[in-house]
Structure 1
Amino acid sequence: MNFLKAIITCIFSVAFLHCFSQQMIQGKIIIKEKEDLSFVNILLRNGADSAIIKSITPDTSGNFYVTISHYQTGMFIEVAALGYAAEIYQLQPPANDTFNWNINLTVQERELDGITINSKAPLIERKVDRVIFNVANSISSNGSDVFELLKKTPGVQVSHEDIGMTGKSTVSIMIDNRLVQTDGEELEALLRSMPAIEIDKIEVISAPPAKNDAQGNSGIINIVTKKKRRNGFNGTVTGSYEQRTKGSEHIDASFNYRKDKINVYGNSSINRNRFISLQQTNTFYPEQQQNQTLNQDNRPLYTYTQLGFDYNLKPNAVLGFRYTLGTLDGKTDEDYDNEVLHIPSLVKDSTILTNAFATDKGRRNVFNLNYEWKIDSSGKKLTVNADYFTRKGDKGRAFKTSDFFADGNSTGVSSDNKTFGTIKTAITTVSVDYEMPTVFAIFSLGAKTSFVHNNSDNVFTTFQGMDYIVDNDKTNTFDYKENTQAAYISAQRSFGKWDLQLGFRGEYTQTKGYSLSLSQTNTNDYFNIFPTAYVQYKFSEVHSLNFNYSRRIDRSSFWIMNPFRIYSTETSYEEGNPFLQPAFSNNFELGYTYKSIFTMTLFSQHVTNLITRVSNIDTVSNSFNFVSANAGTQTQYGVTMTLSIQPLSFWENTTQVFGTYSKFNSTFYNADVSYVKPSFSIETDNTFTLNASQTLSAELGFSFTSAQQSDFDVQRHFCNLSAGIKTFLFQKKLIVTLDAEDILKTDIWQMKNLYNGTFQNSYFDNRSLQLALTWKFGNRNIQAKRNLNKNSDEINRAN
């Protein structure tokens, strides 16, 4: 009897424990614009071998639930649907007996055994605070690169070595929310090394939200790479040769390796450029005119290396580290020919010849430590970033000047000078960001602090007797410190056809600059609020209207606040300005989108204390110089329109039209001046797929920009014709590209100062022919590195 009681007791105990050890998994699948969600697959998998424990089917509204007898370590839920990115949710021992999630699925292209399954998002989307170009849905992404894609991106203007937005003085380039810390030829080389097939979308943010630094009268272009999920190793190697007047070479390699909790990534590039630039500057004095020509042989060598890793501390928390090393080794030969003419006869009086050799070496290190914690399934997230940046640059210049009479005989006047200097920069930044979805709205808040220290010196020497003697009047040391503390909060809410977003960012800045030669200290201490507001109204699925407002601040780069002079010749130099004050801008935009083929934006911008580079004429010494100054106020009104169509199945066309009305007011030259000028530009880019397998394509592009106002200067019209051909080989692992730029040699930079008549005419060797080969290797379906790090604004100003 006692034995029977024991058996019965055990049976009931096991049944009791079994009932109370059962746990519930429940949730809701959310897919925008989908009503029947029963097509979604939900799989409960074993953590040890990923074996399927249970398969779950949601109801038509997306609700699902299932019970499990007992929790096992490593169990996870996989949610997948055809045409949508899979989502993985790790089960953790709960405080109660229920796992409860809201799961959002997003559209994503996937490849299965060479077959592309694509539930297409629109080619162009307008969100409440940005315009999105979905690259994967464009045939031009086939065999292209990121630099070429930007030419087809709404609102973006691209020319050789220059990327801009209408109405914005500068543009920041980000890759996966990380600010790229290069510009000019180095930036172009980096973007050309990135295959378009690896890009998911390009976000154009003309009015950056409160989360981003308020620095810069600039927009942001964020290039978002595709995210993949399998373990493995992959990479890309690119080599190119570009022929301008001289030849240039570029080699780039990148890799990504993922194994369970660890993801390691890196890239490295070497870019050896060589180009000849021809520049002409005409200056006018009361009794003479000087026509100076400059022939430059530029030979910069850039290297860029980045290595990083992410480690999953737990399924919802990742710790990452990244190190970046960049170097520059530049050499330039310069020949100046300055012809002096009498006014008004324009008879030649004399000639001043200068021969120079310049060197520019730099090395920068960037250390980044980051942490991301996805607190729960509702979307709460904490992100922490810490950056430390150092840069040391050494510049040197040796130049000899000789004067000659009109008949070519020497006047006996000559000089031999050398200048050299070192710039050291150290920047520390720490930021914390927190996202908190609630029933009322999605809140974001955060804080950032930065510490900047820049020290630079410039030594000017003149050869006298047997040695070079320091000229103390032209030698200086400048020390600059800047500390900024910032905090922000923003809220986004959607209801019906409306999307609203409102944000406020406060920044408190303290600066101190000290000039040794002037024995002068300049300090600033200011606090400002920068509001942002966005409103979007969707009339229907094909029509939407957007409005946004933002206030921005533009702080000068550290080096242009250094008051020392950099001499090109004995009669021409450039100097910094320690008295520069920040500029402020108010920006308004009204945008309209029709389907995914047409966007239009009306904008206005008002800038006070505009920081710009202006020319000065010294009528006493018959010399000229350039200096940065708070030159005045600028108001712009304009429109941008983008049309993306596919006239034929093999032909994709993107045409953009930009129109601007600019007004500039200034008292810089001790006189009230006002300049007004309308301008426009048009760009058209065409991609032609030449075979059914889409392994051969051609491109043809043309752009024209009319004369336009730029503070005191008017830039004359210019245009550019480009063409290219691309092919895939060896099962699309090898991409061969041949591109021609500025075929007609018409991309010429010409400026005239409306106040003093100074005229500049420059051609930077833009006509080129480039052959590039890209080889892709490894497993292309691994998960890419995370989107982290936003502490790069100060670093960008240091370069």
Structure 2
Amino acid sequence: MGVLITGNVGGWESSNPNRNITYIKGAGAATPDSSLITTSSSLRTWTNTTFNANLKHTFDSTGKELTADVDYSVYNNQMIERGMVSRFYKYVDKVETEYNTPLNITSNSPNKYNIFAVKADYIHPLAKAKAKLEFGVKSSWVKSDNDIRFFQNGAVDKGRTNYFIYTENINAAYANFNKEFGKKFNLQAGLRMEHTRSEGKSVTMNESRVRDYVKLFPSVFLTQTINKNNQLTYSYSRRIDRPGYNSLNPFIYFLDPYTYQLGNEYLTPQYTNSFELTHSFKQSFVTSVGYSITNDFMSEVIKNAVNVPEVLEKLKKYNNIQGIDPEKITFATQENIARFENLNVNFSVPIPITKWWNSQNNISVFYNKFIGEVSDQNLNVGQWAYNFYTSQSIKLPKDLSAEVSMWYNSPNVYGIMQGKAQY
């Protein structure tokens, strides 16, 4: 039995003000007709504490084993944006002229997360059958408390202040079966069941949404040993990706007078079915081919406020947009937009060049395709892309070493976004 307590305290403050310039133009216009310049400085502090109690018990020499863990974590984070000043400019006869009264805004965003989890796992070997059974259960409880406060010219800005509480309880149970078939094959099959109950509550807007669902997640891995140098692995798995807590907050979060972030209380998890074939040569050179289908794919979308009347009404109710052209106001949100298909080929190639120089290289070639509907428009886009990563490790005299690495991501499509090359 063991007990572990860890914690950390820290913080940082920006030494120089951040300065952002946004150029604004009307729909269909070739050049901007106005601009927005925002300056601000930031202060962030955090205090995190984690407690763990664990137990391990071996029943006999056959390898029967029971393990249990209890975890409790508290995370306190605070972000303060000070002196956020927004100034508006119009271009009149190609001359930039300031208009409207500058906004002087300060925000204070304390976030607190409480996470409690308990789990137990049991291993039951079947020596005569060259097999093993594994069973486990886990329950977790999460509470996220986010109280974002805005102040304008020293007074509380009730229109931009936002208080959101999210609670989530996940109960899961799983069973795994592992067996060797002769000297050539090893099979691992498993099934996990999850029951999720969550509630997102906007205290500010007096809105809440409860979700309650049960899902199954199977997985199968079959390993084939061809000879001492070559091995194949065939796999299938199903997984879930849940929305971030704040992604479910229906409040409109202020970024600047023309840009907002909106949570989506109707956002649902996405589910992915993955198939993969992997070849390993001398347990070093690895090649894999994979295909996956993701349903209810979550993607960020950017919309114009005038095209979504209910959002425009929220802006008028909770934010001061007087003097702002509604046609130039945009907001970002997440939606379940599409089915996402991914085909990928991956190569991992380690190259020992000399005794003192090793090279590790990874290449991925993939095709992403998205099919669905965004803002009542059909979406059907796809594109080939590739990633490359290389790392060179060099041993130097006197137990010194050096490492040089580089990476490159080609242009690619992701949902409605078109990404540029990165390196």
- Give the structure-1-normalised TM-score: 0.47
2:98 maps to 410
Q: How far apart are the structure 1 equivalents of 2:39 and 2:328?
A: 20
1:435 maps to 123
Q: How far apart are the structure 2 equivalents of 1:340 and 1:559?
A: 28
1:336 maps to 20
2:9 maps to 327
Q: How far apart are the structure 1 equivalents of 2:27 and 2:270?
A: 39
Q: Does structure 1 conserve the Cα–Cα contact (< 8 Å) formed by 2:90 and 2:99?
A: yes
Q: How far apart are the structure 2 equivalents of 1:560 and 1:618?
A: 18
Shift of 1:690: 4.6
1:707 maps to 411
1:377 maps to 61
1:88 maps to none
Post-superposition CA distance 1:218-265 (Å, at most 9, x none): xxxxxxxxxxxxxxxxxxxxxxxxxxxxxxxxxxxxxxxxxxxxxxxx
Unaligned runs of 5+ in 1: 1-318, 720-799
1:490 maps to 176
Would the alpha carbon gap of residues 324 and 614 (structure 1) be closer, same or farther in structure 2, given more than 3 Å must change? Answer: farther
Q: 2:232 aligns with which of 545, 558, 569?
A: 545
2:52 maps to 368
Q: How far apart are the structure 2 equivalents of 1:396 and 1:624?
A: 24
SS in 2 for 1:718: coil
Q: How far apart are the structure 2 equivalents of 1:703 and 1:347?
A: 35
Q: How far apart are the structure 1 equivalents of 2:416 and 2:228?
A: 45
What amino acid is aligned across from residue 586 of structure 1 in structure 2?
Answer: N
Are 1:449 and 2:139 an aligned pair? yes
Post-superposition CA distance 1:318-343 (Å, at most 9, x none): x1111121334243432122234577
Post-superposition CA distance 1:469-512 (Å, at most 9, x none): 4334x333222221111111101111221100111111111111
1:529 maps to 216
Q: How far apart are the structure 1 equivalents of 2:357 and 2:345?
A: 27
Shift of 1:454: 1.9
Would the alpha carbon gap of residues 662 and 511 (structure 1) be closer, same or farther in structure 2, given more than 3 Å must change? Answer: same
Would the alpha carbon gap of residues 402 and 488 (structure 1) be closer, same or farther in structure 2, given more than 3 Å must change? Answer: same
Shift of 1:545: 0.8
Q: Does structure 1 conserve the Cα–Cα contact (< 8 Å) formed by 2:345 and 2:366?
A: yes
Q: How far apart are the structure 1 equivalents of 2:247 and 2:13?
A: 22
Are 1:387 and 2:67 an aligned pair? no
Would the alpha carbon gap of residues 342 and 665 (structure 1) be closer, same or farther in structure 2, given more than 3 Å must change? Answer: closer
Q: How far apart are the structure 2 equivalents of 1:499 and 1:544?
A: 11
Question: What does 1:369-768 correspond to in 2, within 5 Å?
Answer: 369-398=53-82, 399-406=84-91, 407-438=95-126, 439-440=128-129, 441-463=131-153, 467-472=154-159, 474-496=160-182, 497-618=184-305, 620-690=326-396, 695-719=399-423
The alignment's C-alpha RMSD in Å is 2.2
Q: Does structure 2 conserve the Cα–Cα contact (< 8 Å) formed by 1:635 and 1:662?
A: yes
Q: Does structure 2 conserve the Cα–Cα contact (< 8 Å) formed by 1:475 and 1:564?
A: no
SS in 2 for 1:533: strand
Q: Does structure 2 conserve the Cα–Cα contact (< 8 Å) formed by 1:385 and 1:432?
A: yes
Unaligned runs of 5+ in 2: 307-325
SS in 1 for 2:247: helix
What amino acid is aligned across from residue 124 of structure 2 in structure 1?
Answer: M
Post-superposition CA distance 1:250-291 (Å, at most 9, x none): xxxxxxxxxxxxxxxxxxxxxxxxxxxxxxxxxxxxxxxxxx
Would the alpha carbon gap of residues 326 and 605 (structure 1) be closer, same or farther in structure 2, given more than 3 Å must change? Answer: farther
Shift of 1:677: 0.3
User: Larger relative contact order (C-alpha < 8 A, sep ≥ 6)?
Assistant: 1
Q: How far apart are the structure 1 equivalents of 2:244 and 2:4?
A: 25
Would the alpha carbon gap of residues 667 and 579 (structure 1) be closer, same or farther in structure 2, given more than 3 Å must change? Answer: same
Would the alpha carbon gap of residues 421 and 697 (structure 1) be closer, same or farther in structure 2, given more than 3 Å must change? Answer: closer
Shift of 1:344: 6.6
SS in 1 for 2:33: strand
Shift of 1:663: 0.3
Shift of 1:708: 1.5
2:320 maps to none
What amino acid is aligned across from residue 355 of structure 1 in structure 2?
Answer: T
What amino acid is aligned across from residue 478 of structure 1 in structure 2?
Answer: F
Shift of 1:404: 2.8
Moved more, 649-658 or 440-449: 649-658
Shift of 1:432: 0.5
1:731 maps to none
Q: How far apart are the structure 2 equivalents of 1:481 and 1:348?
A: 44
SS in 2 for 1:672: strand
Q: How far apart are the structure 1 equivalents of 2:116 and 2:401?
A: 47
Q: Identity of counterpart residues, as a percentage?
A: 23
Q: How far apart are the structure 2 equivalents of 1:596 and 1:452?
A: 40
SS in 1 for 2:204: coil
Moved more, 632-641 or 449-458: 449-458
What amino acid is aligned across from residue 117 of structure 2 in structure 1?
Answer: T
Q: How far apart are the structure 2 equivalents of 1:717 and 1:385?
A: 44
Would the alpha carbon gap of residues 565 and 357 (structure 1) be closer, same or farther in structure 2, given more than 3 Å must change? Answer: farther
Post-superposition CA distance 1:25-45 (Å, at most 9, x none): xxxxxxxxxxxxxxxxxxxxx
Shift of 1:541: 0.4
Shift of 1:686: 2.3
Post-superposition CA distance 1:163-183 (Å, at most 9, x none): xxxxxxxxxxxxxxxxxxxxx
Shift of 1:448: 0.7
Q: Does structure 2 conserve the Cα–Cα contact (< 8 Å) formed by 1:458 and 1:564?
A: no
Shift of 1:658: 0.5
SS in 2 for 1:648: coil
Moved more, 409-418 or 605-614: 409-418
Shift of 1:710: 1.4
Would the alpha carbon gap of residues 334 and 700 (structure 1) be closer, same or farther in structure 2, given more than 3 Å must change? Answer: closer
Whichever of the two has the greater Rg, that structure is 1
Q: How far apart are the structure 2 equivalents of 1:697 and 1:469?
A: 55
Q: How far apart are the structure 1 equivalents of 2:36 and 2:404?
A: 44
Would the alpha carbon gap of residues 614 and 330 (structure 1) be closer, same or farther in structure 2, given more than 3 Å must change? Answer: farther
Shift of 1:610: 1.6
Would the alpha carbon gap of residues 347 and 612 (structure 1) be closer, same or farther in structure 2, given more than 3 Å must change? Answer: closer
Q: Does structure 1 conserve the Cα–Cα contact (< 8 Å) formed by 2:24 and 2:328?
A: no
What amino acid is aligned across from residue 157 of structure 2 in structure 1?
Answer: V
Post-superposition CA distance 1:55-103 (Å, at most 9, x none): xxxxxxxxxxxxxxxxxxxxxxxxxxxxxxxxxxxxxxxxxxxxxxxxx
Q: Does structure 1 conserve the Cα–Cα contact (< 8 Å) formed by 2:149 and 2:156?
A: no
Would the alpha carbon gap of residues 334 and 666 (structure 1) be closer, same or farther in structure 2, given more than 3 Å must change? Answer: farther
